């Protein structure tokens, strides 16, 4: 009972957390139940496709995210973490919001790639935001153009509170 | 191209046609806008049929030219490219889509982004800008400066045709798909399992890159161009550099040409191998997708090791290459590639001999030759439908003339043909890489000078130039015009995906809904460089 209350209070704090906290500060805050498995939903918000391909590469036999308990799911309802790529293109905003809203709490958002972090080279384009942070509450950021699968794997393991060499 | 020149010279019109430039390989001709359809029909009747490279609308009102339409055609027989320029357009221009449906999307895009009207266009719905933008929002006009309009974008329903009848259903998919894929909305009109019609609504990732490029310096432009498409980085930057080099009359040293060709082929190999794997993922054949993704990963690791980037970004610069590996590096790359080529030959027969996979892919998603021709398809898409177009064969550039590249053609136009074209092209690319790397090994170590900074005084201003490269998905064309301060005035990116996307919905009717992932993946088009 006490444990559950503790967890609940922790979850509440996590979901109300500030928008731009850094990766390392929050990773220890994750409830322990997510340390064994993490279900991810990918959301392309206007990327150039490079980040997405690197994310796809996580599933090949050389990285094999599934042996770390990480999996990509088809529906946002099943997801704990939303991995967003791209600058946040205007014509996708509604769909992006809906995807985020469809996720069950507790939920986290990870901005993957320079574009998602701050707009990258596309800063100032007329049909795009300057990063996902402008439209969704970002918890974790993984910079890089694109971040390599290694970077992503490390970030995900850190999010789960696992040791990363 | 004697006949064409004579035809244009003897063409009666007012104001008269002006041949601005006519050289062995390129021509630039001013044409009155209303005569454009007739001249285009004449050009399209020439055999072998010309291919379209790009269609650009440019706001030249500051120069007193009004809006201009540039249409670049390439005549394969003599390797001759003709640019038809229609100047002085005020608010409308006669449509060319009725004569040449390949220009359908370009003209709809011009309607959206410039606020011009294509008179007589058969499908004048908006394309690039979805409903919901403020009225009178035409961002590519020069008097528009990027402002707050994106904050005013409201939710508005997309427009789709109606279809009614007993048992007809609409299945809508997207824009967010299940999986790690880019966004696009597909609407299937089905009767039972069979698809009657498919509407594809793309341009969800439209960011406004062409506007963003305006006013940028050549180097800044390259930085953005490399990021238009994640997986065709080399092709896009090569096309851009070709345009810049044409304007600056730069000669690229042979050594740089050699390494540029190697990069282009490395890009083709890792894309084709990945695409073959993805086709298997489209039918759930884990054997193929696992092998494909593993082979692709190894190729990308090779890219990272020897060129510093998994997608080969940052290597090509105007005038040459940023750096090149020495003889030892070339030897190491070759050894690795030989290993990977053996690996490829080992798993590809498993796939090609798989009866279940074959049954799914044969006669699925057929693209007819006439359709591919009319819609201006390019790359493996066109070659799998019996059209022998390959920019590497058509146009003397890089080191391709020495390599004797021939377009690999299949006749059936189905998913299997597109797969086989990719398989054969991968083998061909391994062969090309082998030849090129052996040449690179002969060169002495570190004899390469980085290209010096361009002398901007000699660069042509306010003149159009285009660059063209055969990317893994087809011919990428970048059209460039620089302003008086040598900054980008207009840059049009016509990627292979942009040319090929309009044919995808045409191949689906008659198939069943579950075949769509396979059909889509057999084209393996990119959304980002189409939407820009």
Residues of A in contact with B180 (CB under 8 A): 42, 52, 55-56, 72
Check if A52 contacts B (Cβ < 8 Å). Answer: yes
Distance of alpha carbon B57 from its chain centroid, rounded? 17
Residues in B closer than 8 angstroms to A146, CB to CB, are: 230, 310-311
CA distance A4 to chain B (A): 33
Cα Rg of chain B, angstroms: 23
Check whether A24 has a pLDDT greater than 50.
Answer: no
How many percent of chain A have pLDDT more than 70?
78
- Reply yes or no on whether the pLDDT at A30 is more than 70: no
Give the Cα separation of B430 and B78 in Å (integer). 29
Choose, out of A127, A145, A152, A153, the residue to mutate when testing the contact with B (most B CBs < 10 Å): A127
Q: What is the pLDDT of residue A27?
A: 45
Q: Is A91 on the interface with B (CB under 8 A)?
A: yes
Instruction: Give the range among A148-162, B333-347, B491-505 with minimum mean pLDDT.
Output: A148-162
Check whether A3 has a pLDDT greater than 90: no
8 Å CB contact of A43 and B310: no
Which residue from A42, A57, A92 is facing B205, i.e. has the nearest CB?
Answer: A92
Mark residue B170 as left, alpha or beta (left: phi above 0; alpha: psi -120 to 50; beta: remaining).
Answer: beta
pLDDT category of residue A11 using cuts at 50, 70 and 90: very low
What are the DSSP E strand ranges found in B77-149?
Answer: 80-89, 92-94, 117-119
The rounded distance, in Å, linking the Cα atoms of B125 and B112 is 9
More confidently predicted of B133 and B10: B133
Q: Assess contact for B20 and B73: CB atoms under 8 A.
A: no
**Cα–Cα distance, A116 to A131 (Å, whole number):** 4
Listed range (B170-179, B240-249, B296-305, B368-377) with the worst mean pLDDT: B170-179
Q: How far apart are CA B289 and CA A110, in angstroms?
A: 27
- For residue B50, pLDDT over 80 is answered with yes
**Chain B residues within 8 A of A74 when measuring between CB atoms:** 178-179
pLDDT of residue A26: 46
Q: Taking residues B111-122, report their average pLDDT.
A: 91
State how far the Cα of B418 lies from the Cα of B412, in Å rounded to an integer.
9
Mean per-residue pLDDT, B271-281: 93
Are B232 and B495 in contact, with CB atoms under 8 Å apart?
yes
Q: What percent of chain B has pLDDT over 90?
A: 55
What pLDDT shows up at residue A139? 87
Q: Which residue of B has its CA nearest to A43?
A: B176
Distance to chain B for A153, nearest Cα, Å: 15
- Taking residues B32-42, what's their average pLDDT? 90
Show the 3-state SS of B455-471: CHHHCCCCCEEEEEEEE
- Which pLDDT score is estimated for B250? 85
Of B211, B294, B304, the CB nearest to A126: B211
Cis bond before residue B380 (omega within 30° of 0):
no
- pLDDT on residue A159: 83
Q: What is the pLDDT of residue A34?
A: 66
Rounded to whole angstroms, how far apart are CA atoms B478 and B59?
A: 17
- The per-residue pLDDT for range B453-475, each reduced to its tens digit, is 667 777 888 899 999 999 999 99
Look up residue B496 and give its two tokens: 């292979």
In Å, how far are A147, B52, B472 from B233, measured between CA atoms? 16, 22, 11
**Residue A107 pLDDT more than 80?**
yes
* CATH fold label, A40-159: Rossmann fold (3.40.50)
Nearest CA in chain A to B207: A127
Q: In Å, what is the CA distance from B485 to each residue of A121, B218, B242, B481?
A: 22, 11, 20, 11
CB B38 within 8 A of CB B46: no
Tokens 């130039």 locate to B465
ipTM of this predicted structure: 0.90
Residues of chain B contacting residue A94, judged by C-beta atoms under 8 Å apart: 155
DSSP class per residue in B369-427: HHHHHHTT--HHHHHTTT----HHHHS--TTHHHHT------SS-SHHHHHHHHHHHHH
DSSP state of B324: -
Chain B environment of A86 (Cβ under 8 Å): 205
- Encoded tokens for A111: 């901005």
* Residue B18 reports pLDDT greater than 60: yes
Tens-digit pLDDT profile for residues B373-432: 999 999 999 999 999 988 888 887 888 888 888 889 999 999 999 999 999 999 999 999
CB contacts of B184 in chain A (<8 Å) are none
Residue B435 — very low, low, confident or very high, per pLDDT cuts 50/70/90?
very high
- pLDDT given at position B357: 92
Q: Is the pLDDT of residue B67 over 90?
A: yes
DSSP-derived 3-state class of residue B321: strand
The pLDDT of residue B182 is above 50: yes
The model's pTM is 0.91
Q: Which residues of chain A make contact with B304, given a CB cutoff of 8 A?
A: 148
Q: How many CB pairs under 8 A join A and B?
A: 143
Query: How do residues B76-98 score in pLDDT, each as one tens digit?
Result: 888 899 999 999 899 999 999 99
Inform me whether the C-beta atom of residue A89 falls under 8 Å from chain B C-beta atoms.
Answer: yes
Which tens digit of pLDDT belongs to each residue from B240-256? Answer: 999 999 998 888 888 88
User: Looking at per-residue confidence, does B65 or A25 come out higher?
Assistant: B65
- In this prediction, residue A6 has a pLDDT band, given cuts at 50, 70 and 90, of low
- Which residues on neighbouring strands pair with residue B410, listed in sequence order? none
* Alpha carbon distance B417, B385 (integer Å): 8
Q: Do B146 and A125 touch (CB under 8 A)?
A: yes
- Model pLDDT for residues B472-507, shown as the tens digit of each residue: 999 999 999 999 888 999 999 999 999 999 999 999
E strand or H helix at B67? strand B66-75
Please state, rounded to an integer, the average pLDDT across all residues of chain A.
Answer: 80
SS3 of residue B514 by DSSP: helix
Mean per-residue pLDDT, B178-185: 88
Closest Cα in chain A to B230:
A50
Q: Does B12 touch chain A (CB under 8 A)?
A: no
Decide: A66 and A99 in contact? Cβ < 8 Å.
Answer: no
């Amino acid at each position: 009972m006490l444990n559950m209350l503790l967890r609940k209070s922790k979850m509440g704090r996590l979901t109300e957390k500030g928008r731009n906290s850094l990766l390392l500060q929050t990773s220890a805050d994750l409830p322990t139940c997510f340390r064994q498995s993490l279900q991810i939903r990918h959301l392309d918000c206007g990327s150039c496709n490079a980040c997405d391909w690197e994310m796809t590469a996580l599933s090949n036999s050389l990285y094999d995210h599934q042996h770390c308990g990480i999996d990509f799911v088809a529906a946002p309802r099943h997801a704990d973490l939303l991995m967003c790529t791209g600058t946040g293109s205007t014509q996708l905003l509604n769909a992006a919001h809906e995807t985020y809203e469809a996720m069950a709490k507790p939920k986290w958002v990870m901005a993957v790639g320079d574009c998602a972090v701050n707009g990258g080279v596309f800063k100032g384009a007329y049909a795009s935001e300057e990063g996902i942070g402008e439209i969704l509450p970002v918890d974790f950021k993984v910079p890089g153009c694109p971040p390599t699968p290694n970077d992503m794997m490390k970030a995900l393991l850190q999010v789960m509170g696992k040791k990363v060499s | 191209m004697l006949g064409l020149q004579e035809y244009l010279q003897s063409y009666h019109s007012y104001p008269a046609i002006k041949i601005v430039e006519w050289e062995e390989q390129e021509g630039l001709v001013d044409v009155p806008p209303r005569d454009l359809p007739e001249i285009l029909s004449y050009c399209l009747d020439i055999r072998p049929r010309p291919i379209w490279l790009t269609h650009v609308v440019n706001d030249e009102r500051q120069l007193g030219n009004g809006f201009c339409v540039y249409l670049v055609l390439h005549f394969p027989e003599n390797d001759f490219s003709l640019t038809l320029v229609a100047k002085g357009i005020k608010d409308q221009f006669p449509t060319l889509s009725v004569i040449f449906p390949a220009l359908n999307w370009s003209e709809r895009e011009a309607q959206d982004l410039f606020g011009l009207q294509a008179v007589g266009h058969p499908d004048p719905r908006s394309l690039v800008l979805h409903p919901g933008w403020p009225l009178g929002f035409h961002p590519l006009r020069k008097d528009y400066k990027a402002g707050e309009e994106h904050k005013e974008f409201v939710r508005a329903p997309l427009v789709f045709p109606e279809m009614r009848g007993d048992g007809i259903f609409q299945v809508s998919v997207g824009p967010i798909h299940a999986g790690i894929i880019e966004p696009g909305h597909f609407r299937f009109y089905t009767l039972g399992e069979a698809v009657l019609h498919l509407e594809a609504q793309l341009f969800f990732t439209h960011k406004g890159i062409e506007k963003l490029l305006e006013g940028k310096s050549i180097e800044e432009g390259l930085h953005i161009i490399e990021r238009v498409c994640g997986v065709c980085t080399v092709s896009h930057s090569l096309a851009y550099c070709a345009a810049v080099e044409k304007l600056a009359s730069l000669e690229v040293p042979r050594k740089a040409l050699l390494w540029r060709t190697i990069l282009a082929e490395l890009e083709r190999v890792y894309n084709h191998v990945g695409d073959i794997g993805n086709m298997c993922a489209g039918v759930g054949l884990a054997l193929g997708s696992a092998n494909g993704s593993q082979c692709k990963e190894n190729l990308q690791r090779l890219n990272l090791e020897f060129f510093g980037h998994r997608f080969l970004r940052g290597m090509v610069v105007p005038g040459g290459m940023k750096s090149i590996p020495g003889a030892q590096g070339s030897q190491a790359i070759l050894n690795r590639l030989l290993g990977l080529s053996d690996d490829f030959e080992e798993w590809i027969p498993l796939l090609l001999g798989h009866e279940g996979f074959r049954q799914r892919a044969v006669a699925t998603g057929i693209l007819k030759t006439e359709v591919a021709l009319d819609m201006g398809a390019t790359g493996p898409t066109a070659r799998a439908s019996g059209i022998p177009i390959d920019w590497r064969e058509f146009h003397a550039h890089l080191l391709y003339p020495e390599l004797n590249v021939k377009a690999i053609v299949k006749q059936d136009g189905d998913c299997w043909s597109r797969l086989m074209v990719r398989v054969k092209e991968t083998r061909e690319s391994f062969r090309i890489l082998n030849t090129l790397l052996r040449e690179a090994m002969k060169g002495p170590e570190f004899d390469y000078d980085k290209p010096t900074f361009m002398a901007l005084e000699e660069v042509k201003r306010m003149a159009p130039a285009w660059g063209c490269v055969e990317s893994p998905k087809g011919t990428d064309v970048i059209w460039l015009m620089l302003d008086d301060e040598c900054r980008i005035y207009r840059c049009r990116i016509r990627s292979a995906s942009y040319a090929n996307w309009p044919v995808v919905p045409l191949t689906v009717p008659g198939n069943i809904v579950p075949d769509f992932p396979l059909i889509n993946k057999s084209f393996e088009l990119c959304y980002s460089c189409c939407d820009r």
